[in-house]
Each structure stands twice: as structure tokens, then as C-alpha cells.
Structure 1
């Protein structure tokens, strides 16, 4: 089973993502970038590390870009090969080119989802990167 970290300051969005991921992953949550970075550090050093991170871009204090840069730095310091690095999906209401560029090229995110998104959109991203397969599919459910 996957280990996932959801970092989002919106408790409704966090709860929605937990509901989507629960059939596939053990989920931890953090309400801001600082708490997300600390949870990531703890998991990376004590174990087990996270396989998947869903990371909101706009959060007070430390935004998602800075949190992801910190996470990638921690992986580098720990000697984690890029093939074993956590898979990161950035999520945001912002879908401008600068935000996407920073997510992909500076933070090395694997995907970017614009809010609002559906449960099926999240599951499609997980399937696209072979984090889940169709054999794991739970029965269809309706979105809130």
C-alpha cells in the first residue's frame, strides 16, 4: 500500500483527498508547508518514506513550491536516487504558466492539478504514473 502525504491548508480539500486516496494509501496530512516539510523529513529519516505527496501551492507561511524545494533538498542530502524520490502532484487554484513552470522545473513535480478537480481526475493521475492500477479500483462513488 502507498504512503501518501497531503499538504493543504483547506480542511475540506484535505478531507476530500483523504477520501479519494484511502482505498489505495495510508494518508497523513499537514495543514501548511512547514508542517508538511517536517512530516516529510521525519518519514525520510525514520521511515517509511512517502511514495506520494499531494501539495497545495498557495498556503500561508511556506507555500507549496518552497516546501517541495525543501523536500527535494532533503532527498538529495539523504542520497535518495531520483527513481526512488517521492512522486509529487501539485494542486492549486492557480494554473498560470509561471506557477506550472516552477512546479515542474524547479520543484520537479510529476503532475499539476487545477482546483477544482474530481476524484476521477486524481485517480487518473495516479494510474498515469503507475501508482495504482485498474485492478485496485473500488466501486464508483459520487463527488461531494
Structure 2
């Protein structure tokens, strides 16, 4: 599984990477613009990401705008049979407005920090993206 983690807080990105690296290759970026660029590059290479984890509060482009950009790119490429990644918002923001906007823009799950490895794994299982030997 190919995983993109967009998180500007280094301890948070480290923890998320440690949780997820047992399931696949993790790419770390620190802002939304880099996340969109990594997403586009992965499509050009013909691989794509299976999972994208986005923080909301990031420099250059926040997580909601990043989510919106990624989903717009996917919409344009719909006829190219590119796989659509599952997108999880992983953030400390638990206000209803942020949650609503994230789902409105196309996120698949919303995970509030701090979270546990078990809660993350439960989210991955719910999204049916864990490799078969992990379930």
C-alpha cells in the first residue's frame, strides 16, 4: 500500500508514520501544496496512493483545500481508470463545521488527535483498505 502523510507537526507525522509503515510505503510532506504535488507525481508514475492522511492546519495550503484539490484532479481523470485513494483527515480540530466541510469535500474518514493505534486501525478496517493478512 502507498501512503501519503501531509502533516507539518513533526512529532505527529512521526507517530502516524510509525503506525502506518507496517502496512506500506509512507511518503511524508509538510504542507498541502507538497501533498498535491506528490499526488500528481504518483499519478504520473502510474502508481497513485492508496491512502492519504491530511492535517487541516498546514502552511501554504490547508488540509481542506488540499482535499478539494485532490478530489478535483481525480474528477478530471475519471476516465483514465486511476485508483481513488481513501482520504482520512487526521487533525486536532473537532468542530462540527470542520468535520462537515471535510466530508462535503470528499474525505472518507475524520480522525481527531490524539488517537490510538487501535482507533487508526479500526478506521482503516472500516474503510476496507488494510491488506488481507492484517485483518
TM-score (norm 2): 0.92
Q: Could you say which residue in structure 2 is the equivalent of 1:114?
A: 112
Q: How do 1:103-142 residues align onto structure 2 when only pairs under 5 Å count?
A: 103-105=102-104, 107-132=105-130, 135-136=133-134
Seen in structure 2, the aligned counterparts of structure 1 residues 81 and 113 have a Cα distance that, compared at 3 Å, is farther
**Which stretches in structure 1 are left out of the alignment for 5+ residues?**
138-144
TM-score (norm 1): 0.87
Distance between the aligned counterparts of 2:89 and 2:79, measured in 1?
20
**Which stretches in structure 2 are left out of the alignment for 5+ residues?**
none
Give the Å deviation of 1:74.
1.1
Distance between the aligned counterparts of 2:81 and 2:63, measured in 1?
20
**Contact 2:55–2:63, Cα closer than 8 Å, also in 1:** yes
Greater CA drift, 79-88 or 107-116: 79-88
Q: Could you say which residue in structure 2 is the equivalent of 1:89?
A: 88
**Contact 2:2–2:50, Cα closer than 8 Å, also in 1:** yes
Q: How do 1:14-29 residues align onto structure 2 when only pairs under 5 Å count?
A: 14-29=13-28
Q: How do 1:16-95 residues align onto structure 2 when only pairs under 5 Å count?
A: 16-79=15-78, 84-95=83-94
Structure 1 runs (4+) deviating above 3 angstroms are: 80-84
**Contact 2:56–2:64, Cα closer than 8 Å, also in 1:** yes
**Paired residues, what number?**
135
Give the Å deviation of 1:23.
1.1
Distance between the aligned counterparts of 2:116 and 2:64, measured in 1?
23
Give the Å deviation of 1:81.
8.1
